[in-house]
């Protein structure tokens, strides 16, 4: 019987877990209390049925309680001093754990096999001037399986009854009975009019189909009809399940208001790339790419340039070394890159918020705010993570093989010229067009070296741009990882939470 209810309670528990920290705390706390209460009540078994008589002062609850019990168990009187605790009449052997859970100390065991499993409670007056009485009533109203609201011809229209209790409990209509007591004080026509007016008020409360009985605890009029209603509910053993099902419905409906009818958007590739581009600028990727290009040209000039002027390049520091980069991926090393400028920070935050707005789509409050908060939650962490992303990137620093060949050729050209100059000092050599051959060879070697330098510089410039692009791609891949971890995945987690909440509340409502 409770298998479907078990599934609904489990779904409500999941909805509470998702709603925690996202929806209104009061709504979440109320739903959590339902889950806890349902678990406790089901754990105590559903064989017993707990029925409470509730109503205002003077309605005759205690008289009706005594009449149903067939004994004077509660002190009755229109002006009696009310008590802060309830009185219980028990038929059969209800579990002691259930009675302890109800915390009703005044217990009377009654005879009557036809009612085995009935636990009948006489509650304090809900309109008592003592706050403790009202608190006790409201505590027990959350726990009992069936409530018999007892009213009288004078106070049946009391606003406190309808506004505070009946109307808010409209979703629990299957777990309520309304009794118009003291019917004997009215003649037939007045009773009919009173009954009709009370039915109208109940309909206005959303309780038009709730059983309404006119009885007299003093004369016993129609008392057997009320006893029949209670006996049938006790025999069916479904009052506890019906009550808990109504509680779950109420709680799930309140949580389900956080779903709304709007559809979420999605995190598209274009939105992702805008965030990555903004974070790339904030991380200093263009600065590092330029340093990679310049470093490549510097190293190329040192390896392939004219030997007589290479030393000039050595006077200039390596651009990558100045940024503490270039010795391989080192994600634990802080670079010397300057932090993001205010403009770059604003652009990164704007891209994240734009992505969040697109992802939230048409979702109702509070989801747009939750998604936006998720996208910007790690703004303070971003600079450090982006710096590690850059320092941990695999930058292209391998030396091309042709550099060695070009360097050896430059050295050979220089050695040839210098070698012939030394030979000329020892052995006279012929002249060509009036120019000594060593001088001609020296000039030709210098010219050839210069031309080779110009050629290698052009090749290195092209290669440096290619390396800069490869470095940019390597760094952007790591920046995208940071973007996914700190921006995109939190946004997607909120969208998934919305979907999970809606699915859980739907299951909690329908089973």
Q: Are residues 251 and 281 in the same domain?
A: no
Q: Tell which of 205, 227, 257 closes a domain.
A: 257
- Please answer whether residues 1 and 237 qualify as being in contact, where contact means their C-beta atoms are separated by less than 8 angstroms: yes
Q: Are residues 232 and 277 in the same domain?
A: no
When pLDDT is averaged across residues 477-505 and rounded to a whole number, the result is 93
Nearest-angstrom CA–CA distance, 477 and 94: 67
Q: Does residue 419 form part of some domain?
A: no
- Looking at residue 301, its pLDDT comes to 72
Q: Are residues 86 and 158 in the same domain?
A: yes
Nearest-angstrom CA–CA distance, 508 and 43: 19
Q: Which of 317, 324, 323 has the alpha carbon at shortest distance from 299? A: 317
Q: Does residue 264 form part of some domain?
A: no
Q: Are residues 54 and 42 in the same domain?
A: no
**Pairing between strand 118-122 and 49-54?**
parallel
When pLDDT is averaged across residues 142-170 and rounded to a whole number, the result is 92
Asked if the model's pLDDT at residue 41 lies above 70, the reply is: yes
Average pLDDT over the chain reads: 85
Q: Are residues 282 and 195 in the same domain?
A: no
Q: Tell which of 196, 228, 257 closes a domain.
A: 257
pLDDT tier, 207 (very low <50, low <70, confident <90, very high otherwise) = very high
Any idea how long the chain is? 511
Q: Are residues 108 and 157 in the same domain?
A: yes
Total number of domains constituting the chain: 3
- Looking at residue 263, its pLDDT comes to 86
Asked if the model's pLDDT at residue 285 lies above 70, the reply is: yes
Q: Are residues 54 and 38 in the same domain?
A: no
pTM: predicted TM-score of the whole model, two decimal places? 0.79
| CA distances from residue 213 to 63, 101, 154, 224, 228 in whole angstroms, order as listed | 16, 30, 16, 11, 11
- Please answer whether residues 87 and 53 qualify as being in contact, where contact means their C-beta atoms are separated by less than 8 angstroms: no
Q: Are residues 201 and 68 in the same domain?
A: yes
Nearest-angstrom CA–CA distance, 71 and 108: 10
- Looking at residue 98, its pLDDT comes to 92
Q: Does residue 339 form part of some domain?
A: yes
- Please answer whether residues 5 and 509 qualify as being in contact, where contact means their C-beta atoms are separated by less than 8 angstroms: no
Asked if the model's pLDDT at residue 159 lies above 70, the reply is: yes
Q: Are residues 332 and 390 in the same domain?
A: yes
Q: Does residue 444 form part of some domain?
A: no
Q: Which residue has the higher pLDDT, 410 or 339?
A: 339
- What range does the domain containing 117 cover? 49-236
Q: Are residues 23 and 117 in the same domain?
A: no
- Looking at residue 85, its pLDDT comes to 78
Asked if the model's pLDDT at residue 500 lies above 90, the reply is: yes
Q: Does residue 428 form part of some domain?
A: no
CATH number at residue 132: 3.40.50.300
Q: Are residues 3 and 57 in the same domain?
A: no
User: Tokens 């590739």 identify what position?
Assistant: 269
Q: Within a 10 A sphere around the Cβ of 131, how many other Cβ atoms?
A: 9
Nearest-angstrom CA–CA distance, 471 and 464: 10
Across-strand partners of 275?
none
């Amino acid at each position: 019987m409770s298998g479907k209810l078990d599934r609904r309670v489990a779904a409500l528990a999941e909805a509470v877990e998702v709603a925690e920290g996202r929806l209104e705390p009061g709504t979440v706390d109320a739903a959590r209390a339902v889950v806890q209460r349902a678990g406790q009540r089901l754990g105590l078994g559903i064989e017993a049925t707990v029925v409470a008589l509730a109503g205002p002062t003077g309605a005759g609850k205690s008289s009706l309680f005594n009449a149903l019990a067939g004994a004077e168990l509660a002190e009755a009187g229109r002006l009696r001093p009310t008590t802060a605790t309830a009185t219980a009449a028990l038929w059969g052997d209800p579990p002691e754990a259930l009675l302890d859970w109800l915390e009703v100390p005044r217990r009377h065991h009654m005879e009557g096999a036809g009612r085995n499993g009935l636990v009948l409670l006489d509650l304090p007056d809900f309109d008592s001037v003592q706050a403790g009485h009202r608190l006790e009533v409201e505590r027990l109203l959350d726990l009992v399986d069936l409530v018999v609201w007892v009213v009288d011809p004078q106070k049946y229209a009391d606003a406190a009854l309808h506004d505070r209790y009946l109307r808010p409990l409209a979703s629990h209509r299957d777990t309520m009975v309304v009794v118009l007591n003291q019917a004997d004080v009215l003649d037939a026509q007045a009773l009919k009019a009173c009954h009709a007016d009370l039915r109208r008020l109940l309909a206005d409360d959303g309780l038009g189909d709730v059983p309404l009985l006119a009885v007299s605890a003093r004369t016993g009029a129609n008392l057997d009809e009320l006893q029949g209603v209670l006996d049938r509910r006790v025999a069916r053993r479904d009052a506890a399940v019906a009550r808990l099902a109504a509680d779950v419905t109420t709680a799930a409906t309140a949580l389900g208001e956080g779903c709304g009818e709007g559809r979420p958007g999605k995190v598209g590739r274009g939105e992702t790339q805008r965030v990555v581009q903004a974070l790339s600028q904030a991380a200093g990727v263009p600065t590092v790419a330029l340093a990679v290009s310049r470093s490549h040209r510097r190293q190329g000039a040192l390896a392939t340039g004219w030997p007589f002027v290479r030393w000039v390049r050595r006077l200039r520091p390596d651009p990558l070394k100045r940024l503490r980069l270039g010795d391989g991926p080192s994600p634990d090393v802080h670079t010397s890159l300057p932090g993001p400028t205010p403009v770059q920070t604003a652009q990164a935050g704007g891209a994240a918020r734009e992505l969040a707005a697109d992802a939230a789509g048409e979702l109702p409050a509070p989801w747009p705010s939750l998604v936006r908060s998720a996208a910007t939650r790690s703004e303070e962490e971003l600079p450090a993570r982006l710096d590690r992303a850059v320092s941990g990137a695999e930058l292209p620093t391998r030396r091309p093989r042709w550099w060695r060949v070009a360097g050896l050729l430059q050295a050979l050209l220089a050695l040839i010229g210098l070698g012939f100059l030394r030979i000329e000092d020892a052995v006279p050599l012929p002249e060509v067009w009036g120019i000594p051959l060593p001088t001609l060879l020296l000039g030709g070697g210098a010219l050839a070296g210069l031309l080779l330098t110009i050629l290698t510089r052009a090749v290195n410039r092209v290669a440096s741009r290619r390396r800069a692009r490869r470095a940019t791609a390597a760094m952007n891949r790591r920046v995208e990882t940071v973007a996914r971890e700190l921006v995109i995945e939190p946004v997607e987690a909120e969208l998934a939470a919305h979907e999970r909440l809606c699915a859980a509340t739907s299951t909690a409502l329908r089973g």
